């Protein structure tokens, strides 16, 4: 039996831990350095704050994190209707400075880094030599004089050569940093800003709530960023997120995290949201989760992330896996990541099998759960390319039980980003 | 008169004669969160103490409900199919899972009564 193991009602603590384990890629990987992640879970800057606000804490990506406050379902629906405050301080916040930094990053990512304007950001992928995905990330070109610049090593370069801010997944950040340090030239400085916290405020009322404590943020459009004062704290704010809703991600010094979180939570639109709803929100938004929907075995084409391959970079090459990725673009990948709506009420979860007409395994469900917005089970799966067309029925098996899914365009729930001119 | 027992697996068993009604406790439903699906065993199914008997799924995870006693299923709670949230709103009444005919009443020995279970939960 290949389905995910379940725990008894007996051990809710274990159960919560297991669900989180399945939620983001913290399963030990064969090649992972056992020393890369601290053994005992570490505390993040808002640890006590979460407990004081009723957060149920679990271990996640090596940290104590809140899985939920009042419950996944109400937190999910609150975020879709109002604004949810997420602590994502476990994620890696990296600063790159030095001469030729854009060129150096282009050697590791398929994004048009050189063409990125100040204050603009891109979704990109850290790629292995074979085109497999090492991590997915957000990259922003910083203007001179950002809150990160003062006193940082390499700050002298900020005015003349540009600098970049990268946010990577918490579970993979140590491997990412090792990979980046190994492959970037010596003149590039990588600063892992462990002294910073990262908050996300997401939902249709996020802009109104944040603008009250951070005047001016309403001028940002989706995938742009800038320096703002949030509740009196110097912050780097981007209009981006992981829920499909309009919203912001707010980088602040760790010492000021409680002050900013308090100021945001004081807004009537805002409630704290845990990792459980973060996962169900991103699934509805069709956004992949590294370690589950993406890994070193998946390529950008199979993962349906072709938009992350900029045209100039496709034509010029010069990033890891270029030859294989271009071949897949022309000939198609063997499998493709798709969205599935599942018949019935029972969720089909990560690890469920995709079967062909003969009952042979031809793919896997990589994320699955119950959609609070749609009130039905949804999933992401890798299916054979020939079965990836919308409307195709997909046979699934979980714990010996058969299910039927139908390929559905992603996202399941429409994105409501605040795009420029909108 | 009915007598209610509790397991360390957070199930309750209400015994009347040789019939036992089984469900999960209020503590368990609170830990699981919003229940979106519950699968109960069909009437006639033979349950073995400690073996999987039912499935309960929240938004984020699936969990097994183990049979707290051995016996044959007399009736499953059909209401859970249409309204699995009954497990959240009335876990120890309308949200029951199944009824079994007790095969061995001595299996009840060693289970907790309400006050013992309450103390057990407070110690978690």
Task: Establish how many alpha carbons lie within 13 A of residue B56's alpha carbon, considering only the half-sphere containing its beta carbon.
Answer: 36
pLDDT range class, residue A27, cuts 50, 70, 90: very low
Put simply, the answer to whether A15 touches B61 (Cβ < 8 Å) is yes
Q: Is residue A189 part of a domain?
A: no
- How far is Cα A2 from Cα A350, in angstroms, rounded to an integer? 10
Q: Is residue A19 part of a domain?
A: yes
CATH code of A368's domain = 2.40.30.110
- How far is Cα B68 from Cα A358, in angstroms, rounded to an integer? 39
Put simply, the answer to whether B63 touches A6 (Cβ < 8 Å) is yes
Residues in contact with B30: Cβ distance below 8 Å, sequence separation at least 6, in sequence order:
none
pLDDT in tens, A367-417: 999 999 999 999 999 999 999 999 999 999 999 999 999 999 999 999 999
Nearest CB to A15 within list B7, B63, B81: B63
Residues A274 and A416 in one domain: no
Does B119 reach chain A within 8 Å, measured CB to CB? no
Q: Is residue A183 part of a domain?
A: no
Residues A228 and A342 in one domain: no
Residues of A in contact with B64 (CB under 8 A): 6-9
Q: Is residue A227 part of a domain?
A: yes
Nearest CB to B10 within list A9, A68, A71: A9
Comparison of pLDDT for B60 and A107, the residue scoring more: A107
Which one of A3, A12, A67, A278 makes the best mutation probe of the B interface by having the most chain B beta carbons within 10 Å?
A: A12
Put simply, the answer to whether B31 touches A12 (Cβ < 8 Å) is yes
Residue-range domains of chain B with CATH: 3-115 (2.40.50.100)
Last residue of a domain, one of A249, A284, A319: A284
A318-352 in b/e form (b: 16+ CB < 10 A) is ebbbbebbbebeeeebebbbbbbbbeebbbbbbbb
Average pLDDT, chain A: 89
- Please identify among residues 351-370 of chain A the ones whose CB lies closer than 8 Å to any CB of chain B: 369-370
Helix (H) or strand (E) holding A161: helix A158-161
**Residue in A closest to B61 by C-alpha:** A19
Put simply, the answer to whether B36 touches A370 (Cβ < 8 Å) is yes
Query: What is the ipTM for the molecules in this complex?
Result: 0.88
Q: A390 is written with which tokens? A: 């919308």
Helix (H) or strand (E) holding A15: helix A12-23
Residues A405 and A343 in one domain: yes
pLDDT in tens, A272-316: 999 999 999 999 999 999 999 999 999 999 999 999 999 999 999
Q: Is residue A422 part of a domain?
A: yes
Residues of A in contact with B39 (CB under 8 A): 346
pLDDT range class, residue A420, cuts 50, 70, 90: confident
pLDDT in tens, A136-175: 999 999 987 776 755 555 554 454 567 999 999 999 999 9
Q: How many domains does chain A have?
A: 2
Last residue of a domain, one of A247, A267, A284: A284
pLDDT range class, residue A39, cuts 50, 70, 90: low
Percent of all residues in chain A with a pLDDT value above 90, rounded to a whole number: 84
Put simply, the answer to whether A9 touches B57 (Cβ < 8 Å) is no
Handedness of CA A132, A135, A136, A137 (dihedral sign): negative
Does A276 reach chain B within 8 Å, measured CB to CB? yes
Which one of B60, B88, B91, B96 makes the best mutation probe of the A interface by having the most chain A beta carbons within 10 Å?
A: B60
Q: Exposed, middle or buried by CB within 10 Å (0-12, 13-18, 19+), for A383?
A: buried
Which one of B23, B61, B120 makes the best mutation probe of the A interface by having the most chain A beta carbons within 10 Å?
A: B61
Helix (H) or strand (E) holding A18: helix A12-23
The domain of A267 spans: 12-90+196-284
Residues A338 and A422 in one domain: yes
Measure CA A294 to chain center: 11
Q: A298 is written with which tokens? A: 């998946």
Q: pLDDT value at position A145?
A: 73
- Please identify among residues 49-78 of chain B the ones whose CB lies closer than 8 Å to any CB of chain A: 55-66
Q: pLDDT value at position A201?
A: 98
Task: Return the DSSP state at B42.
Answer: P
CA distance A345 to chain B (A): 6
- How far is Cα A243 from Cα A277, in angstroms, rounded to an integer? 9
Q: pLDDT value at position A22?
A: 31
The backbone torsions φ and ψ at residue A141, rounded to the nearest 5 degrees and listed phi first, read -85, 125
Q: Is residue A201 part of a domain?
A: yes
- How far is Cα A90 from Cα A62, in angstroms, rounded to an integer? 8
Residues A347 and A263 in one domain: no
Residues A66 and A200 in one domain: yes
Residues A274 and A357 in one domain: no
Q: pLDDT value at position A162?
A: 78
Neighbouring-strand partners of residue A159: none
């Amino acid at each position: 039996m290949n389905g995910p193991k379940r725990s008894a009602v007996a051990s809710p603590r274990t159960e919560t831990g297991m669900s989180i384990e399945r939620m983001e890629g913290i399963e030990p990987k064969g090649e992972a350095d056992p020393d890369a992640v601290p053994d005992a879970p570490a505390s993040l800057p808002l640890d006590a704050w979460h407990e004081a606000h009723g957060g149920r804490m679990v271990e996640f990506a090596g940290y104590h994190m809140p899985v939920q406050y009042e419950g996944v379902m109400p937190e999910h629906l609150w975020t879709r209707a109002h604004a949810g405050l997420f602590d994502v301080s476990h994620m890696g916040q990296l600063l790159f400075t030095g001469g030729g930094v854009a060129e150096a990053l282009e050697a590791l990512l398929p994004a048009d880094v050189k063409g990125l304007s100040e204050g603009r950001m891109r979704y990109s992928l850290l790629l292995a030599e074979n085109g497999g995905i090492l991590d997915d990330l957000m990259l922003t070109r910083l203007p001179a004089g950002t809150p990160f610049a003062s006193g940082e090593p390499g700050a002298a370069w900020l005015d003349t050569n540009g600098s970049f801010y990268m946010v990577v997944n918490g579970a993979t950040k140590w491997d990412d940093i090792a990979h980046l340090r190994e492959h970037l030239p010596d003149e590039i400085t990588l600063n892992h800003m462990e002294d910073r916290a990262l908050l996300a405020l997401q939902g249709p009322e996020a802009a109104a709530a944040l603008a009250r404590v951070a005047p001016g943020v309403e001028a940002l459009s989706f995938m742009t960023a800038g320096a703002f004062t949030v509740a009196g704290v110097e912050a780097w704010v981007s209009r981006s997120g992981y829920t499909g809703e309009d919203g912001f991600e707010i980088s602040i010094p760790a010492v000021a995290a409680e002050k900013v979180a308090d100021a945001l939570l004081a807004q009537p639109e805002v409630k704290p949201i845990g990792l459980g709803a973060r996962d169900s929100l991103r699934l509805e938004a069709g956004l992949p989760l590294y370690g589950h929907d993406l890994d070193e075995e998946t390529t950008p084409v199979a993962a349906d992330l072709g938009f992350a391959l900029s045209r100039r970079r496709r034509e010029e090459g010069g990033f890891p896996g270029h030859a294989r990725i271009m071949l897949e673009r022309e000939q198609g990948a063997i499998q493709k990541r798709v969205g599935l709506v599942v018949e019935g009420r029972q969720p089909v979860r990560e690890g469920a099998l995709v079967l062909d007409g003969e009952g042979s395994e031809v793919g896997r469900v990589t994320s699955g759960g119950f959609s609070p917005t749609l009130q039905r089970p949804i999933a992401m799966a890798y299916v054979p390319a020939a079965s990836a067309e919308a409307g195709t029925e997909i046979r699934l098996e979980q714990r010996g039980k058969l299910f039927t899914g139908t390929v559905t365009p992603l996202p399941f729930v429409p994105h409501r980003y605040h795009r420029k001119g909108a | 008169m009915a007598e209610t027992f509790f397991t360390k697996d957070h199930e309750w068993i209400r015994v009347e004669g040789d019939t036992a009604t089984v469900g999960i406790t209020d503590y368990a439903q609170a830990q699981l969160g919003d229940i979106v699906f519950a699968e109960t065993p069909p009437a006639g199914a033979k349950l073995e103490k400690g073996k999987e008997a039912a499935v309960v799924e929240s938004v984020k995870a699936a969990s097994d409900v183990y049979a707290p006693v051995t016996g044959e299923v007399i009736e499953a709670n059909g209401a859970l199919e249409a309204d699995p949230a009954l497990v959240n709103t009335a876990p120890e009444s309308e949200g029951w899972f199944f009824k079994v005919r007790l095969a061995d009443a001595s299996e009840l020995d060693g289970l907790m009564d309400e006050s013992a279970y309450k103390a057990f939960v407070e110690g978690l």
